[in-house]
Structure 1
């Protein structure tokens, strides 16, 4: 794979700094009159805050998706794609459900989802990564503050900020069961983190991320004039968040498990190059090498 200049250096040693974003947030155009489309107010909200929440968007899909995930959970037992909690053998993440389930893969090409993604990214896209995030009741542990792009840039070679994650809530997400926390506006900053990345870092980071996590003093600077927002909602809520948005989640301290199904879309004009952390690429289930543009599935 070709290399190119590193506009977003990170994990180069002991120094940590905040770098201004050098890429657009919204690449696409105005709303369309045919098919699913985001309105101008929604595009403006995404550009300013780095995420969108669409309540009650696809509730009819929840039960079929849950059934499919439960089947995958049994079929993939013992595979690397299943990641457990850092302190137990309870399920934390299932990676690459799109690769194992045609039903899930078609869901992420649904006419109510894919056009929105193309509109925001301004191009055809491919499915870079998919996963189920599972927060068991009482024992589901936190995810530290991080930018997805920082990891994808350093460990996978994603060159620019032209990707996003779309996800559907498969259970209620409320204040007490470890909801996703975001910092609106933080996607316009890039935290160049300290440390250096070892080979196969993913084998430990998927259970507990340490590298790519901004230091407390950096987070104090980010939060100086920004607030933390919890993304909550009912099953069927669709969320889209920008690749560089700082986000994390607390422990699940409730009796209610939390489950979401996610897909990362990358622009076909933003194909990975050699990882900027001078590493071998991570496995395909974390960053797909199939860059074929995806097409709309039947509704």
Structure 2
């Protein structure tokens, strides 16, 4: 499936594009069924909350064929190529899970600073695709966005201990970008200003919905207040002409993909 001109224009203007009922109920069921098979005990690819519940599963395509096929689904790859205007590869792939009554928040941030500062990617010629595995709304931690903030580039960071510690250590500790106290968060006054100017969108959607969003858009999500898990798959595609340049201290390959081959052999279903 390819996007139409109106959808492409909306993405570039607003910084995101939501499409409902993009995956079938059967496809979502397969992904949910296979999700436990992506979790490998004691693997560094599994990030836990402070309460011990799973927060993120990185690189599920490394060990699971279903999730590997999903990353080559024509309905994801072709629109991503249109939005980036080039052939693409997988820079990062993860499952974020908010456990019922346990799932923590994600502070207001942009994704591109991590890819730019930690991975050495020069341009935000990237797009993230979020796939909803359950009905998602404000009560179970739906993603919130501030439209058009992707046009600002990388903005001022909030002053916080996680950022100061990372600067003092002068290292590339990947763990500081994965827990609830992430290091690169948006300055609070800037969030207030842009929220007043542009508003905040809660990207509620039914299971099977897909959200395409820009790496520089301000986004956050709240805790999961329901007793039911809320899972979402996020695949970040990057242009094959925009490769990471941090060769001295690269993050692990499950955070910064090393296979730069353009995605081929597209599939029509998982």
2:224 to 252, 258, 272: 252
Matches within 5 A, 1:92-241: 92-189=55-152, 190-193=154-157, 195=163, 197=166, 198=169, 199-241=171-213
Q: Is the 8 A contact 1:121 1:162 kept in 2?
A: yes
> How many residues are matched?
258
Tell me how large the CA RMSD over aligned residues is. 1.5
Deviation of 1:243 after TM superposition, in Å, equals 1.1
Deviation of 1:213 after TM superposition, in Å, equals 0.7
Q: What residue number does 1:62 align with?
A: 28
Deviation of 1:43 after TM superposition, in Å, equals 1.0
1:298 to 263, 267, 270: 267
Q: Is the 8 A contact 1:114 1:296 kept in 2?
A: no
Q: What residue number does 1:81 align with?
A: 45
Matches within 5 A, 1:18-33: none
Unaligned runs of 5+ in 1: 1-35
Do residues 285 (structure 1) and 236 (structure 2) align? no
Unaligned runs of 5+ in 2: none
Please give the alpha-carbon distance, in whole angstroms, between the structure 1 residues aligned to 2:65 and 2:266. Answer: 11
Runs of 4+ that moved beyond 4 A = none
Give the TM-score, by structure 2 length: 0.91
Please give the alpha-carbon distance, in whole angstroms, between the structure 2 residues aligned to 1:200 and 1:78. Answer: 21
Q: Does the residue aligned with 2:155 lie in a helix, a strand or coil?
A: strand
Q: Is the 8 A contact 2:58 2:93 kept in 1?
A: yes
Give the TM-score, by structure 1 length: 0.82
Bigger mean CA offset, 217-226 vs 193-202: 193-202
Deviation of 1:186 after TM superposition, in Å, equals 0.7
Deviation of 1:224 after TM superposition, in Å, equals 3.5
Deviation of 1:215 after TM superposition, in Å, equals 2.3
